[in-house]
Each structure stands twice: as C-alpha cells, then as structure tokens.
Amino acid sequence: MRRVPIRALIVVIALLAGGWLVVQERAAQAEGDLEAIAFSPGGGLDPATVARADDLVRTDRRLNPDRRPDLYEAVVLGRSGRTREAIAVLERTVAAEPENLEAWALLAGAAKTEDPALAARARARQRELAPPVPDG
C-alpha cells in the first residue's frame, strides 16, 4: 500500500478549510443583508425589497444550520403586511426551538393584534425563559 505524503494531506485539509470559510462568509453576508432589510427604518417594505429578502433567506437557510433565517423571514413578512405568514413561521420556529427567547418575543409582537391569546402565551413563555429582574 502506498502512503499518502503528509504534504498532500495538508493541502487537502487546507482546501477543505478554505471552502468551509467561503461558505461561512457567504452565510454571514446574507444574514447581514437580511438584518439591514428587516430592521431598516420606516414602515412597510416594497415588493422588490421583499423579493430580495426572500432570496437572502433561501441563501442563509442553505448555508446556516440554525433558525436565525426564520426570524428574519418573519420580520420581513410582518413588515410587508403578511402577519399571519409571519406568525406561522414563528410558530414553527418555537416548536423546533422552544427555548428561543428571540422567537417567542417576535411571536408575541406579531400575534398582538391577530391572535391576542397566542400573544399572551408567547409573552408568558418569554417571561419563563427570561424572568424580570426585581428592582433594588
């Protein structure tokens, strides 16, 4: 059996590490652009911005193993007047990650006018995960 030279193995490992870093950079860029859209000043979002956000969410989901893209999607949906869709995304997120404080907070806000009972449950869960700190 022929032994693989150490240098060749190091080159392969370096190429794999470089590829991984490129993927992570693309995910971070997509997430940064999503954050800029989701939390830009102003009210609703125009259709072109929503379409761009949809593309970024797909990219971020493909490259990112966590649920953060779902949170951005929900904020964009809410800002574009699609509150029920935003609530559905957030309900899936909290079902998958029941300790995701940020998702519960967003769900409480999104459901406030559409489903006050759901908003109250979300706020209660939010308080369970991060109880208020008493004064003093």
**How would you write the pLDDT of the chain (136 residues) with one tens digit per residue?**
566 688 887 888 888 888 777 777 777 788 888 888 888 888 888 889 999 999 898 888 887 778 889 999 999 999 999 999 999 999 999 999 999 999 999 999 999 999 999 999 999 999 999 988 887 6
Give pairs for 27-34: CB < 8 Å, separation 24+.
27/59, 27/60, 27/63, 27/64, 30/56, 30/59, 30/60, 30/63, 30/64, 31/56, 31/60, 31/64, 31/68, 31/69, 31/72, 34/60, 34/69, 34/72, 34/76
What domains are defined for the chain? 6-129 (1.25.40)
Stated pTM of the model: 0.76
Q: How far apart are CA 80 and CA 40, in angstroms?
A: 13
